[in-house]
Amino acid sequence: MTNNGILPRSSDGRVSTQRTMLLEPERLEGASPNLVKDEVLKPGRRLPCSVLAKNYKSMTEILAVAKYAVLERDDYSNVNCQKCGCGDKSDELLLCDKCDKGFHMKCLRPIVARVPIGSWLCPKCCGRRRVRSFPQDKVLEFFRIQKSCESCDTKDGSLSPQDYRKRRRRWAPPVFQKKRRRLLPFIPHKDHDRRLTEMSSLASALAASNMEFCDDLHYSKALAPRSANQAKLEKGGVQVLPREDIETLEQCKAMCKAGIFPPLVVCYDSYEGFTVEADAPIKDWTLITEYTGDIDFLERRKNDDGDGLMTLLLADDPSKSLVICPDKRGNIARFFNGINNHTIDGKKKQNCKCVRYDVNGECRVLIVATRHIAEGERLYYDYNGQEDAYPTHHFI
Ligand SMILES: C[S@@+](CC[C@H](N)C(=O)[O-])C[C@H]1O[C@@H](n2cnc3c(N)ncnc32)[C@H](O)[C@@H]1O
């Protein structure tokens, strides 16, 4: 755009609207042209029409003598993503407002969950601490997975979900038993590359949170020993996970150990922080993941400001109650966000729940889908499912 004297420009040459004029009319009556000029330049002042009429031409007058100009629009059709190098999925390609380079939302680490409102700066231009991204070999290393994901799919038959299902069928109880809803094992994403992207998003989020990956409850003498986790200590008892569901749990655990993860991706949202999205449809009553981390006594963590603490055991004797603390180690469960318990829209978002079970005499916390979850949907559970302690008024 040419500087036609209507829109002032700042010293760097950009058009600035900051000097839109606001000025009391009476101060300008009979004022000298210099005073008018000085006042005009003061920010936050507007000239009365009479003065404007004297000093400025109308738009019609300007247009009558103006030459035609071709306004060149920036052409972004050739912009490629700085991470993956390709320019497809243009609706997911963010342009940095400083360097004009392109980045796919899903190629960034952390993954950007929604198109930012207002201006956006790429990681380099905004000078934010770099979030580590994980190429394929580093992802497998991060999760301490020995075999490649491909080999888990094909060669190691014992780990494929289909085989597990077959095995489960062989072990199924007699048909005459009362029908009960069984947990379903998660179905990993079919696409090998998408699975690696999912793992890479989780590895980046864990690394950014200074956490190690750990898919089990972690006991230590310094915090709480394994012997402290006895489901029989639970006040009023805790529901027992049926044998078939324990098999499903073991199956899901074995899949994760082999690098076959639930179809989830960890994204970053400027409002909610890290958040988990379904990368493929998830059926109702699917066992999504277990809540893991260091086990400690609740009493020792009462003033802990880590916001991922999860109740594991609520004992009759409060000194024996346990919590899961995913501050140093944990898995994807620690990035699941919560619903706002105080709004109808908040409650509508819930699509999974955190349930405590007695698994072979030990308390465990499982995250289970409570309805069908579509690809791309975010996963939310009720942080106040059992107690009413978590403040969720500010949740969106
Ligand atoms: C267990 S963490 C969940 C992961 C977290 N978003 C992160 O970035 O690590 C719980 C914290 O996430 C944020 N959070 C969870 N659900 C939210 C929601 N619906 N809206 C906004 N913030 C939320 C709150 O700061 C909360 O204390």
Name which residue sits closest to atom 18 of ligand 1, judged by CA: 395
In the CATH scheme, what is the code of domain 74-130? 3.30.40.10
Name which residue sits closest to atom 22 of ligand 1, judged by CA: 272
Name which residue sits closest to atom 1 of ligand 1, judged by CA: 308
Ordered by start, the domain boundaries in the chain are: 1-72, 74-130, 154-381
| Residues 353/368, Cβ–Cβ less than 8 Å | yes
Name which residue sits closest to atom 10 of ligand 1, judged by CA: 307
Name all residues whose Cβ lies below 6 A of ligand 1: 271-275, 307-308, 334-335, 337-338, 395-396
CATH architecture of 154-381: Beta Complex (2.170)
CA 337 to ligand 1 center in whole angstroms:
5
CA-based nearest residue to 289, from 369, 389, 176, 395: 369
- 53: number of CA atoms within 13 Å, CB side? 3
- 273: number of CA atoms within 13 Å, CB side? 12
Which of 111, 309, 337 has most ligand 1 atoms within 8 Å of its beta carbon, as the pocket-test mutant? 337
Tokens of 253: 């655990």
**Number of Cβ within a 10 Å radius of residue 317:** 8
Could you read off the pLDDT tens digit of each residue along the chain, which spans 396 residues? 222 222 222 333 332 322 222 223 333 334 343 333 443 333 334 444 454 555 677 778 877 787 776 655 566 778 999 999 999 888 899 999 999 999 999 999 889 988 888 889 998 998 877 778 888 778 888 998 875 544 444 444 444 555 555 554 555 555 555 667 899 999 999 999 999 999 999 999 999 999 999 999 999 999 999 999 999 999 999 999 999 999 999 999 999 999 999 999 999 998 899 999 999 999 999 999 999 999 999 999 988 877 899 999 999 999 999 999 999 999 999 999 999 999 999 999 999 999 999 999 999 999 999 999 999 999 999 998 766 678 888 898
141 sits in which H/E element: helix 136-142
CA-based nearest residue to 25, from 34, 36, 17, 15: 36
CA 181 to chain centre: 30
Calculate Rg over the CA atoms of the chain. Answer: 29
| Residues 96/120, Cβ–Cβ less than 8 Å | yes
Distance set, CA 384 to CA 284, 338, 341, 350, 387 (Å): 21, 9, 8, 12, 5
Could you tell me the pTM of the whole model? 0.71
